[in-house]
Structure 1
Amino acid sequence: MSWKKYSLEDRKIPGISGFAIILIIVSLYIQSKLVLFLAVFFLIVIFCNQLYLKRTGEKLYFENLNVKNYFFIGDKGEWFLTFRNEGFPILKAELRIYFDFFVSPDEDLQETSLSSMYEMSIPFSLFTNQAKQIKIPFTAKQRGIAKIRSIEFRVPSLLGFGETVLESKYFVKQQAVVYPLPIPVKGLKEQISVLQGIHIVPISVYEELLGPVGTRDYVPSDSFNRIHWKASARKQELQTKVYERISEKGWNIALNVSDGHSITGKLEKLLSSITEFAYYAFHKQIPYSLCINVRTAGSTPFLYLPIGEGKEHLQKVLETLASVSTQNTSLPYDYMLSFYNSHLTAQPYFIHAGIKTDDTKRMLLGISKKGAKLFELKIEQEFGLLSELAIHQERRMLL
Structure 2
Amino acid sequence: MKWQRDHAIEGKAGYDYVLLAIILLAVIGVMFHTTIPFLGVGAVTAYLLIFKWYDSGIGKNILLENPTRTIKLFPDETANLDLNMENRSIFPMINGEFQLQMGPAVKAYKHAKDEETYWHKLKIPLSILRKRKTHISIPVIAQQRGVAKVHNIMYYFPHLFHFESAMIRYTPFFRTEFVVFPRLLEVKGVEAVFQMMPGKGRSPFSPYEDIQSPLGTREYHYSDPFHRINWNASVKTQKLQTNVYEREINRSFVFLVNIGKSKTSNMVQTNQHMEALLSYTAYLSKVATEMDIPFELFINSRRPGKIPVLHIPEGEGKRHYGTTLEMLARIHKQSLVFPFDKMLFNIGNHLTHHKTCIIIGELTEDSLHLLDKWKKKNVTIFHVPYSEGTSVVKPLGQEVLSHAK
TM-score (norm. length: structure 1): 0.83
Which deviations, in whole Å up to 9, do the C-alpha atoms of 1:38-64 show, x marking residues without a partner? 466456545544542332111333332
Contact 2:100 2:121 (8 Å CA) reproduced? yes
Alpha-carbon contact 1:150-1:172 (below 8 Å) kept: no
1:303 corresponds to:
310
Match in the other structure for 1:5: 5
> Deviations 1:316-351 (Å, cap 9, x if unpaired)?
111112222314333333333333233577662222
* Shift in Å, 1:221: 3.6
User: 145-154 or 193-202, which moves further after superposition?
Assistant: 193-202
Displacement of 1:353: 2.3
Which residue is 1:388 aligned to? Answer: 395
Deviation, 1:304, is 0.8
Pairing 1:354–2:356 present: no
Q: CA deviation at 1:91?
A: 0.8
The equivalent of 1:67 in structure 2 is 69
Match of 1:168?
Answer: 170
Q: 1:297 to 1:284 in 2, by over 3 A?
A: same
CA distance in 2, matches of 1:228, 1:27: 124
Q: Which of 278, 292, 302 is the equivalent residue of 1:271?
A: 278
CA distance in 2, matches of 1:214, 1:254: 40
Which piece of structure 1 moves more, 246-255 or 44-53? 44-53
Contact 1:365 1:391 in 2 (8 A): no
Of stretches 64-73 and 117-126 in structure 1, the one that deviates more from structure 2 is: 117-126
Report SS of the residue matched to 2:278.
helix
Distance of aligned partners of 1:31 and 1:226 in 2 relative to their CA distance in 1, 3 Å threshold: farther
Distance 1:376 1:116 in 2: 38
Match for 1:331 among 308, 333, 338?
338
Using the alignment, how far apart are the partners of 1:264 and 1:363 within structure 2?
Answer: 21
1:78–1:137 contact (8 Å) kept in structure 2: yes
Tell me, what secondary structure is at the counterpart of 1:159? coil
Q: What amino acid is the match of 1:313? A: H
Aligned to 2:187: 185
Residues 277 and 101 of structure 1, relative CA distance in 2, 3 Å threshold: same
| Partner SS, residue 211 of structure 2 | coil
**Counterpart residue type for residue 353 of structure 1:** I
Counterpart in the other structure of 2:201:
199
Sort the Cα spacing of 1:24 and 1:187 in 2 relative to 1 into closer, same or farther, 3 A: same
Alignment RMSD, CA only? 3.5
Where does structure 2 lack aligned partners over 5 or more consecutive residues? none
Q: Amino acid of the residue matched to residue 273 of structure 2? A: K
Deviates more, 1:191-200 or 1:257-266: 191-200
Partner amino acid for 1:66? Answer: T
Aligned residues: 395
Letter in 1 for 2:394: S
Counterparts of 1:72 and 1:290, CA distance in 2: 20
* CA deviation vs aligned residue, 1:77-115 (integer Å, no higher than 9, x gap): 1222233444454412322122122222242x4666675
Question: What SS does the aligned partner of 1:244 have?
Answer: strand
Which of the numbers 282, 287, 290 marks the counterpart of 1:280? 287
Q: Distance in 2 between matches of 1:231 and 1:164?
A: 95
Match of 1:94 in 2: 97
**What letter corresponds to residue 305 of structure 2 in structure 1?**
G
* Aligned position for 1:147: 149
Distance 1:215 1:256 in 2: 48
Alignment counterpart, residue 319 of structure 1, candidates 326, 331, 334: 326
Q: Separation in 2 of the partners of 1:277 and 1:53?
A: 59
Q: CA distance change for structure 1 residues 88 and 211 in 2, over 3 Å: closer, same or farther?
A: same
Deviations 1:12-36 (A, max 9, x none): 4266347524454455444554445
Q: In the aligned structure 2, how far is the partner of 1:45 from the partner of 1:114?
A: 48
Letter in 1 for 2:99: R
Q: CA deviation at 1:313?
A: 1.3
Identity %: 25
Q: 1:360-397: CA deviations, max 9, x gaps?
A: 444444544544333321122132222233359849x9
> 2:108 matched to 1:105?
yes
- Quick check: 1:340 aligned with 2:323? no
2:220 corresponding residue in structure 1: 218
Partners in 2 of 1:159 and 1:277 — Cα distance?
63
Letter of the 1:9 counterpart? E
Give 1:75 shift.
Answer: 2.4
- SS of match in other structure, 1:289: strand
CA apart distance, 1:266: 0.9
> What displacement does 1:277 show?
0.7
How far the C-alpha of 1:125 sits from its partner, in A, is: 3.5
Give the 3 Å change call, closer, same or farther, for CA 288–26 of structure 1 in structure 2.
same
Q: Which residue of 2 aligns with 1:120?
A: 122
In the TM superposition, what are the counterparts of 1:130-141 in structure 2 within 5 Å? 130-141=132-143
Evaluate the alpha carbon distance shift between residue 313 and residue 110 of structure 1 in structure 2; reply closer, same or farther with a 3 A threshold: closer
1:380 match: secondary structure: coil
Contact 2:228 2:243 (C-alpha < 8 Å) held by counterparts: no
Amino acid at match of 2:6: Y
Measure, in 2, the Cα distance between the counterparts of 1:153 and 1:91: 10
2:266 equivalent to 1:255:
no
Tell me which residue corresponds to 1:76: 78
In structure 2, do the counterparts of structure 1 residues 393 and 320 end up closer, same or farther at CA, with 3 Å as the change threshold? closer
- Using the TM superposition, name which of 72-81 and 219-228 deviates more: 219-228
Instruction: Give the 3-state SS of the residue equivalent to 1:275 in structure 2.
Output: helix
Give yes or no for contact 2:354–2:377 (8 Å, CA) kept in 1: no
